[in-house]
Structure formats: C-alpha cells, structure tokens
Amino acid sequence: MRGAAGVFQLKIKNKKFMLKVNLRHLEEHGLRLQGELPVAELDLGVNDELIRAEQPLRLDLSVELLHDAVLATGSLVLPLECECARCLKKFKFNLKLTGWAAHLPLEGEDKVAVDNDCVDLTPFVREDILLNFPQHPLCKPDCAGLKQKQTARKAGAAEKTAAAAWAELDKLKLK
C-alpha cells in the first residue's frame, strides 16, 4: 500500500507474501519499504534450542535501480527470544542490522532471478539475518553460568571420603 512520499507500507493479506520489488516501479523512482514482515515468511529454518524468532521482522529499506543492478539499503531488526548458553536464563535480544545493504546484479554470472519483473529480497534478508544470529547467546557478557550449591558440610564429607580411600590403598601390600 502506498503511503506518503513514495513509502510503501507492508500489509500481509495472504500467506504467500514475500519481499518482492517490481523493477518497473524502480525505473521511475526509488522505493522505500517500511513495516513488519512475519517471521514465518522469512522461513529461517532455525532448530536451535537457545534461540527462537517469534516476533515479526521490522524493516526500513530504500530500494533503487542502478544501471545493471538493484541496490537495497536500510535497517533490519528481529526480536529474538534467547536462553543463555551458560546459566539457561531466558532473555530478549534484538538482532539489529543497521547498515544492511544488498547489491543484486541483473546481468552476468551472479545475476539475481527476475520473476514477472520482480526481484525477491527475501533470500538476501534471510541469509544476513542467519549469519548474524548469536552463536552462543549470553544474558550478559560476564555471565558466570550456573551457581554451584555446595555447602561447607558437603565439602568436608567429600574430603573425608577421599582420605578414607587413600587410607585403604595404603593398607595394600604389593610384592
């Protein structure tokens, strides 16, 4: 849906929506895409127990047609539900790609697929989001991990058990 000053708002009406840009619209002037894209439309395919993407992707993109390519620049923000890899505490993390850019050639070996005069930005957005996922999500950089619940009495008992084991070994007579 077209808004003010060439801004297109993303409205999802069917489940087949993808982030496509019509090249004929770009011939006249660049486009600005702002809005939210449901995370299901990105088809991230993440099977990580520590990271879940359940909230929509917020995007603000400018798309323009160059001589032989499409240039998309802007910002992407994907809220993630994470679990700390050290202490297992749940926390929220916003994956932010503020200087995101994609140069999509229309000619040559690396040319992007054009379908009905449209270029799909979805695979490029998906790839950069997945590459920026945290590998080991931490609730805070200095997370100490799970707390040890060892009391002084248990520590003393462990020392006595170890001493008793050595005492029994000392009684052994080897020839």
Instruction: Give per-residue pLDDT as tens, 97-124.
Output: 999 999 999 999 999 999 999 999 999 9
Radius of gyration of the chain (CA): 27
Residues 76 and 18: their CA atoms lie apart, in Å, by 15
Pick 76 or 174 by higher pLDDT.
76
DSSP per residue, 115-141:
ETTEEE-HHHHHHHHHHTS-SS--SST
Query: Per-domain residue ranges for the chain?
Result: 4-147
Q: Please state the φ and ψ torsions of residue 37, each to the nearest 5 degrees.
A: -120, 125
Residue 159, judged by CB atoms within 10 A of its CB (0-12, 13-18, 19+), counts as: exposed
Identify the residue whose tokens are 């297992």. 88
Please, what's the largest Cα pairwise distance for the chain?
Answer: 97
Mean pLDDT of 123-146: 93
User: Which pLDDT band, with edges at 50, 70 and 90, does 19 fall under?
Assistant: confident
pTM for the full predicted model: 0.72
Token duo for residue 23: 């090249």
Identify the residue whose tokens are 């200095």. 142
User: How many angstroms from the chain centroid is the CA of residue 25?
Assistant: 30
